[in-house]
Structure 1
Amino acid sequence: MIRRGLEKLRRLGLVSCLLVGAGPLSAVSVAEPFFPIGIYGVGSTEHLQQVHEAGFNTVVGPANKAFLDQAQALGIQVIASPGASAGRDFDPSKFEGKVIDYEPHPALHSWYLVDEPDMTRTPPWQVAMDQRLFKAHAARKPTSLVLFDGVHARDYGAIPDILMVDSYPIPWMPLAHFSQHMTWARSIAGPAKPLYAIAQAFDWYAFRDAVPGETRFRVPTHEELKCMTYLALAQPVDGLLFFTFASGKWFLPDHPDLWHGLLDIVKSLHQHSYLLGCKRLPWVPSYKIAPYEKRRSETQEPSIHLSHLRDAHDTEHLMLINTTEHPLTLSLSLPSSGQRWQLAGSPSGTPFGGFRPGSLYKIPFEKYEVRILQGVEMD
């Protein structure tokens, strides 16, 4: 258990361990692994207080002393731009001052190296060169890089310390695209690569110039936002951020349904923190999805995502997620691992409690519904 915890800390490179003695590994005490639950677009200390009260522990914000000091006081980590973005004109004179001044700051989580180089067609070799140049200027904190297409992890995934992928499909693309991009990124980058997901918490109408010709504007519903959140955790990811708190004419609290829905989800993540940073287990499930014509999503993947996970306490979980807007029924043979399965949050006597392994169960799903089964010891 301790070895796995230390490996997690090594992957993130963002938490410290305390040596209690010079003895064997069993004498090492480690801090609880840090899982970023973050949000973009936090540019002022006033907004820092607001997102802290909302339950976020990480923000994408500026690198300046007042902001970082306030973040530290609130226990918030900051992903900050060094003042230049990898690509053309990546000039050390633009970033070396910030690196010297703020690299040691305890609130600095990582340096935001570049946003969506795959969209701007910045060549991977250029980003890699700039990453090496940046590290040569005494930058020791991790670097993070954001892709808009998960499949491009094959070109850029090895460059940064932390790989991030954003996908904002609502409403002009199927929500299943979010899951698809996270799956591509995780599959290509591998399980050891720290991967952060960035989910949509905005209305494309505020950024309509970026989607010319599009007219179907709205904010994600609570069901869609929750679905994207748990699709990320099912990969699993090592951090989860939402875009965005404030940007241009967009201010998230001005949209109370979306804002309060997001607050509810963040609260749920803290209440079920055992689901953060789980390890995905090998599983080839035996299942059927009905109705037959809805068995695949618009991305031609199974319309219900299935993941078998193990948390830091060795408890196993099955994460079952309807990625479509259609009601579905899943017929599933549960894994046989010397335990029974219980729907999270339901007493064992309910219709969805006390599943036995090796049997076929029919489980109904509403649109975008998330169901989590938890393994418990056999009676």
Structure 2
Amino acid sequence: MALPPAGLNAGDFFPVCMYGITQPAELKVLKDGGFNCFQTYEPAPEKLAALAAEAGRLDLKMVASPDKVLGSPLEKEAKRWPVLAWYLYDEPEIHRFSPASLAELDKKVKAWSPRQKTAFVMGEGMAALSYGAAADALMVDWYPVPHLRLESLGQQVTLTRQGGMALDKERPGKPVWAVLQAFNWLEYPQRRAKRIGRFPTAEEARFMTYLSLARGAAGVFYFKYSDAAASPERWRIFTDLAAEVRRLGPLLAKAKPGERPAGLDPALDITVFRHWGRKRIIILNPSYANVPLNAAALKGWRPLFERKRYLEELLPGGSNLYLPPYRVLVLED
């Protein structure tokens, strides 16, 4: 059974964020790239204050740990920082930090700063069935390239939403933020005798982004930031996606589910959103094979974020159009 669209609980703000920011100078790069928030692992209150000051100047939101801030001279000032959410914990299920301990930490942070939100990240959606009652927002990180099928990400987002809905009856619309892969696994230690890894392609990054949105993610984070000037081609992948998500995300977050158009191949993953009399549709090919696309079934729909206006110009196949593996189409009526 399909889940309803997730509530944002944040007006029209739809988080499109980058993980791993360390310096205030990096925030201008994010802003120019179309992002509206960032996550940092920086623990020092003084350095967080510098990030917060620059974030405020650039109208960016931040996600940061409250651990060292609590009890510090900056404790009072931090309540006015542009915080999207205080980052309670990183993958508690992996580090054996119990649900009760996480709930207590959440309570402690809320007692200190009731107006600011809290969040934490899990390494898989199943963990939400144990931890989903805590915090104002749930995050799930899932990095499948190259060893897992990309569509496994969708299951993790769905499980995370289900866990939050099951355990937190007071906040059934609690947002889930998807943390998506923007790195090469070869950059990290592995237990495998033969190490594997590569950076996601533009097509894979776009597929993961739209699969998350189709499954109800109320924000997307990319893990993690690296020097944009060192690899402008890779940076362009994520700035292009940031522009698309910032335009589309808030509309999807407010939308209601729509009916799947008749006549489309059942192998296609299709999600329809209705909002203010308009409809948007996300069409994904979640397989390694080409899947036929019946253009007649999409008569009246207009492609978004494409260089061509007509499906016949966008897709291969001539009179027998098909969607290549992991291709994404976003259309509106």
TM-score normalised per structure 2:
0.81
State the 1:101 CA deviation.
2.7
Name the structure 1 match of 2:291: 328
- Structure 1 counterpart SS, 2:198: coil
Match of 1:38 in 2: 17
Q: Give the match's secondary structure for 2:76.
A: helix
Deviates more, 1:164-173 or 1:315-324: 315-324
**What is the distance in 2 between the residues matched to 1:285 and 1:368?**
20
Following the alignment from structure 2 to structure 1, what is the Cα–Cα distance between the partners of residues 257 and 287? 24
| 1:230 partner amino acid | Y
List alignment gaps of at least 5 residues for structure 2: 1-5, 166-171, 314-319
1:219 to 191, 199, 202: 199
**Alpha-carbon shift at residue 282 of structure 1 (Å):** 5.8
> How far 1:55 sits from its partner (Å)?
1.0
Counterpart-to-counterpart distance in 2, 1:103 and 1:164 = 22
CA contact (8 A) 2:303 2:311 kept: no
Kindly provide the CA deviation profile for residues 305-352 of structure 1, in whole angstroms up to 9, marking residues without a partner as x: 2212124x44112211112333222569969xxxx6413248999466
Match among 236, 239, 246 for residue 263 of structure 1 = 239
Flag structure 1 segments of 5+ consecutive residues without an equivalent.
1-7, 16-32, 85-93, 290-301, 354-361
Q: Deviations over 1:144-183 (max 9, x none)?
A: 1111111222211221101111111111111111112112
SS of the residue corresponding to residue 80 of structure 2 reads: coil
Distance 1:150 1:349, change over 3 A: closer
Residue type of the alignment partner of 1:269: V
The 3-state SS of whatever aligns with 2:51 is: helix
Return the alpha-carbon distance in structure 2 between the equivalents of residues 167 and 287 of structure 1: 33
Which among 94, 100, 109 is matched to residue 76 of structure 2? 100
Aligned to 2:128: 153
What's 1:174 paired with?
Answer: 149
CA distance in 2, matches of 1:148, 1:308: 28
Q: Aligned partners of 1:347, 1:254: CA distance in 2, in Å?
A: 27
Tell me if structure 1 keeps the 8 A contact 2:258–2:279: no
Residue 364 of structure 1 aligns to which amino acid in structure 2? Y
Question: Following superposition of structure 1 onto structure 2, how do residues 123-138 of structure 1 map, counting pairs within 5 Å?
Answer: 123-138=98-113
Task: Check 1:252–1:173 CA distance in 2 against 1; reply closer, same or farther (3 A cut).
Answer: farther
Secondary structure in 1 aligned to 2:94?
helix
Distance 1:130 1:222, change over 3 A: same
Q: Distance in 1 between matches of 2:195 and 2:26?
A: 31
- What residue is the counterpart of 1:47 in the other structure? 26
1:71: which partner in 2?
55
Aligned match of 1:185 in 154, 160, 170?
A: 160
Report how far residue 77 of structure 1 moved: 0.5
The alpha-carbon deviation at position 78 of structure 1 amounts to: 0.6
**Structure-2 change in CA distance of 1:199 and 1:205 (3 Å):** same
3-state SS of 1:277 partner: helix
Cα distance in 2 for residues equivalent to 1:42 and 1:347: 32
Q: For 1:1-379, list aligned pairs within 5 A.
A: 12-14=8-10, 33-61=12-40, 62=42, 64-83=48-67, 95-97=70-72, 98-105=74-81, 107-190=82-165, 192-207=173-188, 209-246=189-226, 251=227, 253-272=229-248, 275-281=251-257, 283=259, 289=265, 304-311=268-275, 313-330=276-293, 341-345=300-304, 350=310, 364-375=322-333
Query: Which residue identity does 1:256 align to in structure 2?
Result: P
Residues paired across the two proteins, number: 310
Distance (whole Å) between structure 2 residues aligned to residue 82 and residue 272 of structure 1? 31
1:261 aligned partner, one-letter code: I
Deviations 1:225-265 (A, max 9, x none): 0111111111222111100004xxxx454333322211222
Larger Rg: 1
Task: Tell me: CA distance 1:175–1:44, structure 2 relative to 1, closer, same or farther (3 Å).
Answer: same
With over 3 angstroms needed to count, the CA separation of the structure-2 counterparts of 1:245 and 1:347, relative to structure 1, is closer
Q: Distance in 1 between matches of 2:117 and 2:294?
A: 44
More strand by share: 1
Whole-angstrom CA distance in 2 between matches of 1:348 and 1:262 = 21
* Higher normalized contact order (CA 8 Å, seq sep 6+, divided by chain length): 2
- Asked whether the equivalents of residues 150 and 184 of structure 1 are also in contact (C-alpha less than 8 Å), the reply is yes
Percent identical among aligned pairs is 26
